[in-house]
Amino acid sequence: MRKPLKALNDKKGMALLYVVVVIVILSLLGLGVLTISYGVRFNATKIQSEAVAMLAAEAGYEEAVFWMGQQSDMVYVMKTGGSYSNSLAFANSGCNYQVSFFSFIGSRPTYRIISNGYSGRFKRTVDVLVVQAIGGWDMGMCRIPSASSSTSPVYFADGEVIDMPIHINKANDSPDSRDIFVTGNPQFLETVSMGESRYTSGGADKYSDVMGVFDAGIDFDQPNSKITDEAVVQKKIDRFKDSTEGAFTFKPVAKAAVPYPVPAVQLEFFVQGGVGNIRVTNNCTVRGFMQASDSRTWDFMVKPGTTDQYARYNIYAYHFMPQNADATGERVTQDIQNTYVTQSIGGVESEPGGQIFVDGNVIIGGNNILYNNGQVVKGKITIVATGNIWVADSVVLDGAHDADGMPSKDNPNALGLIAQGVVKVVDPGMTEYSYVDGQPLTPADSVYVPIGVPDVGQPVDSYKRHLPDQMAVEASVTVGGGGWGAENVQRSPYGGRKEFSGTQDDLIVRGTITEVIRGIVGQIGADGFLKHYYFDRRFLEGILPGDVWLQGKYIPAPGGWSDYETVE
């Protein structure tokens, strides 16, 4: 039987409706899928553009830090130019950045880098406060001059504990070998950074057999310290001189008629009535002493104008001061705070600190029987000399010290020693060599000045003297013309230091050391000193006045990094 026409048409209408509904649903699903796909693609593009913009901003920051590391003196750049800006272009992005002075952390300049990275309509900004890196023990070369044009490696020995960060410049030696020398199992408790790569150009690992002794690891391919660049050191010295008060700028003249006369200024630190004092005696005359043969001692400095030539120099033997020094005003005693000045960049001033500039040589020390049993520094002061600085007594800081002997974190006192020559611990025993040589100790127009400690049974003014054991120097030491160390350390059966007892005394450094090339401190079990070096972290906080830091690396200040996004 045939169905009625109306019923058949109703079924066809329902089928059509179902088809339309299905088509609408599928269309909506397709539109949803397209929307989701578009959203995913949009978000992916957004994330990619943001990431690219961030990478561009970071590239600008890295370029800015690299540019800063190439400058001889950022303080000079900021004082003369104000700021520096540049831009970089990439395939699908770009950036612009600016370097400017921000402020001081104590006496430590802080710089600001703002780098804007762009990708499409997205912008990321990196805003960072950076400071010049400060190391514990920086050296241009881990070698000691042994003759006029040759050096010998210096080994970190079994049993030594080095509680200082160490940095060593790239030696560019051929064949390429390690630039640090290790024997046995010394302990390096802080990070060691090297200018060289860990691997040779052929891929050989130069450090595989010694990595275990570096407890805090090694950072390779690090920027060199600029201590080896005479022009950079000179620019910083000139800036320091220009900012020192005229009353504390000296150019000594030798007065006494003795062999190898060298002019010098003698500085003595002491505390009286709770006040930190410095006694300045200008126009002293040092009697120099030079061993006759290159094979006898290690007393060399870098020959000016060269990087690989060395000259034997006249080491300290003893010194005189003019008899009428008080009457002529050549000897004065000052409150250390009278030497204080501030650094200023763009109207922003550093914390005040003391500065003394000597165009010549400096002797630090005196008769420690008279001065607090050693030199005691109360205040913040930096001494800069265009010649040598001879340390003739223990030099320690007043104020609180921790149980391990380090100046406490809140100790406000600090000392900087900076020389374009060498900074060396003298040997008072050289006075006896000079006496044996028949040299007069009391010229008519001058007074012999005893230093250190009289030998047992000798009078206070005796020339038979020695340095204390332990010998401590609490300072940041920068050596532009050679190395930090001790003079008259024996190398062959001749001469040799006069120790307090036995064959070696202790030399303690609590501070920092920056040197062009290593200076000898002692020969293990034979002569000189045993070294005990500790890093004074207060120098990281800008406590030292003068800003003559020489690291080629700039790092973010604590809490100094921020980055953010803006849509344009």
DSSP 328-347: HT-EEEEEGGGGEE--EETT
Instruction: Give CA separation, 353 vs 184, 395, 426, 472, 533, in Å.
Output: 43, 18, 27, 23, 25
Same domain, residue pair 496 and 544: yes
Q: Are residues 157 and 56 in the same domain?
A: no
What mean pLDDT is predicted for residues 81-89? 91
| Res 429: pLDDT | 86
Nearest 5°: CA angle at 363, between 360 and 365?
160
Q: At what angle do helices 74-81 and 230-243 cross, to 10 degrees?
A: 60
Listing DSSP states for 374-436 in one string gives: SEEE-SEEEEEESS-EEE-S-EEE-S-B-TTSPBPTT---EEEEEESS-EEE--TTHHHHHHH
Percent residues over pLDDT 90 in the chain: 52
CB 190 within 8 A of CB 135: no
Query: Which distant-in-sequence residues (6+ apart) come within 8 Å of 165 by Cβ?
Result: 135, 136, 137, 190, 191, 192, 193, 535
Q: Which of 17-31, 400-414, 544-558 has the highest mean pLDDT?
A: 400-414
- In a shared domain, residues 42 and 114: yes
253 and 382 inside one domain: yes
Q: What pLDDT was estimated at residue 400? A: 96
Over pLDDT 70: what percentage of the chain? 87
pLDDT band at residue 525 under the 50/70/90 scheme: confident
* Most confident of the ranges 8-17, 113-122, 291-300: 113-122
pLDDT band with cut points at 50, 70 and 90 for residue 426: very high
Residue 40 has pLDDT above 60, yes or no: no
Say yes or no: 127 and 141 in one domain.
no
**Residues 115 and 233 both lie in one domain:** no
Does residue 42 have a pLDDT over 50? Answer: no
Considering its fold, how many domains does the chain have in total?
2
> Which pLDDT band, with edges at 50, 70 and 90, does 206 fall under?
very high
* pLDDT tens digit sequence for 285-323: 998 888 766 567 889 999 988 888 999 999 999 998 888
Distance of CA 560 to the CA centre of its chain: 21
* 489 and 443 part of one domain: yes
Q: Residue 294: what pLDDT?
A: 58
15: enclosing H helix or E strand: helix 5-70
**pLDDT given at position 22:** 63
Distance between CA atoms of 467 and 452, rounded to whole angstroms? 5
Q: Would you place residue 494 in the very low, low, confident or very high pLDDT band (cuts 50, 70, 90)?
A: low
What mean pLDDT comes out for the span 100-117?
A: 94
124 forms beta bridges with: 117, 565
Name the residue type at position 404: D
Q: Which domain covers residue 321, as residue numbers?
A: 137-552
Angle at alpha carbon of residue 8, lines to 7 and 11, rounded to 5°: 90
Q: Which residue has the higher pLDDT, 138 or 161?
A: 138
pLDDT surpassing 90 at residue 363? yes
pLDDT score at 523 = 78
Tally the C-alpha atoms within 13 A of residue 283's C-alpha that lie toward its C-beta. 17
The residue-averaged pLDDT of 177-204 equals: 91
Q: Per-residue pLDDT averaged across 489-505, rounded?
A: 75
For residue 444, pLDDT over 80 is answered with no
Cα separation values, 485 from 321, 422, 488, 515, 550, Å: 25, 9, 10, 10, 20
Residue (of 226, 137, 230, 147) closest to 420 by Cα position:
230
* CA–CA separation, 106 and 111 (whole Å): 14
What is the pLDDT, as a whole number, of residue 366? 83
Provide the β-strand partners of residue 425: 391, 486
Greatest mean pLDDT among 10-14, 401-405, 455-459 lies in 401-405
Contacts of 491 (CB under 8 A, 6+ apart): 295, 296, 297, 298, 523
pLDDT at 57 over 70: yes
What is the reported pLDDT for 111? Answer: 96
Give the separation between CA 348 and CA 484, rounded to whole angstroms.
34
- Tell me, what's the pLDDT at 405? 93
* Tens-place pLDDT, residues 152-171: 998 888 778 889 999 999 99
pLDDT top residue among 231 and 328 = 231
Residues 155 and 116 in one domain: no
pTM value is 0.88
Q: Which residues contact 242 (CB under 8 A, 6 or more apart)?
A: none
Predicted pLDDT of residue 194: 95
Task: Say whether both 258 and 296 belong to one domain.
Answer: yes
Can you tell me the mean pLDDT for 461-483? 91
Does 251 share its domain with 107?
A: no
Q: Are 127 and 263 contained in the same domain?
A: no
Per the prediction, the chain carries an average pLDDT of 87
Residue 437 has pLDDT above 60, yes or no: no
Instruction: Give per-residue pLDDT as tens, 213-241.
Output: 888 889 999 999 999 999 999 999 999 99
- Please check whether residue 394 is in contact with residue 372, taking contact to mean a CB–CB distance below 8 angstroms: no
Please state the rounded mean pLDDT for residues 365-386.
84
pLDDT of residue 45: 54
pLDDT over 70 at 493, yes or no: no
Same domain, 65 and 93: yes
